[in-house]
Amino acid sequence: MAPVIHHMNCGTMCPHAGVRLALVPSDPGHIVCHCLLIEAADGLVLVDTGYGTGDIAAPKRLGPARLLLNAKLDREETAVARVRALGHDPADVRHVLATHLDLDHAGGLGDFPNAEVHVHSTELAAARAPKRDAKLRYRTAQWAHGPRWAAHDAVDGEPWFGFPRVRLLEGAGVEIAMIPLHGHTSGHTGVAVDTGDGWLLHAGDAYLDHGEIASPPRRGRALTAYHRVNSVDEALRRTNVERLAELARDPAVSVFCAHDPLELRRLG
C-alpha cells in the first residue's frame, strides 16, 4: 500500500532581505524548513525536524546563527505540533531521518525522545565533536537528551537512479533510502521515498533554490558566495547539484530541498 506522506514547514525563517534574496532568489518572501511525515505500516517516520520546542524555550542555544537566520520560532510550526495537528500521537514517530544535523534541521529531535534517529555515520561523528566553525552550525544542546542514534554508511549494491544508496527501515512497509550528497556538511545526505507513484527526493541543503537545479541552472553571485562559505566541500556539493539537476528532469522523481518555499507550495 502506498504510504501517506505529508509535507510540512517546521520553521519559517525571515532573514534580512538581502540574505533572503541571496539564499532563495527565485522566491525571497521567506524561507521554510521543509520536513516530511510518512505514515508507514509500522509507525510514523519524520524526515528532518526543523526547529523544536527546545529552541523556543531557549533560543540562545541556537547561538549566533540565530541572528542571521531569524527563525520565527512559532510553536505551531514545530514538527511535534504539526504531527498532533494531523491527528497523530508524537510518541508514534518511531524513526527520524536527518539529512544532516545543522541547527535548522535538528532542533526538533528533543520532541521525539523515543524515536530512533538515523543519520550518516560521517555526519554524526562531525556533529558530536564539532571543531571550531562547526560549533556555529552544530548545536550540541539540541541533542543533549541523548537520542537513540542509528548511524549508517553501508551502501547497497543496487544504485538508485545512478546514485549510491543506503537502504533504511527495511520492513517498515515503505521503500526509503539515504542518498549520500556530501558537501554542504561532511555527512550530508538526501532521503529518497517511494510514494507508490514515483519517488520523492528530499535533498536537504544540497541546494537552496530551485533555480539551482533548473535547466539551465540559475544561481546568483550571492548564493554562490553563501555556498562557498557554508559548505565543507563546495566542489563536491557542486558536483552533486549537477547530478541532481539531471535527476530532476526524470519524471519518475520529484526533487526538492529543505528551504525553498515554492517547492513546498508545489508539493504541500
| Chain residues that interact with Zn ion, rule: CB under 5 A | 104, 205
Edge to edge, what strands does the sheet with 199-202 contain? 166-168, 176-180, 189-194, 199-202, 253-256
Q: How far is the CB of 225 from Zn ion (least distance, A)?
A: 17
Q: How far is the CB of 36 from Zn ion (least distance, A)?
A: 15
Nearer to Zn ion, 100 or 238 (CB): 100
Q: How far is the CB of 31 from Zn ion (least distance, A)?
A: 9
Nearer to Zn ion, 104 or 260 (CB): 104
Nearer to Zn ion, 169 or 244 (CB): 244
Nearer to Zn ion, 40 or 124 (CB): 124
Nearer to Zn ion, 23 or 174 (CB): 23
Q: How far is the CB of 2 from Zn ion (least distance, A)?
A: 28
Q: How far is the CB of 259 from Zn ion (least distance, A)?
A: 6
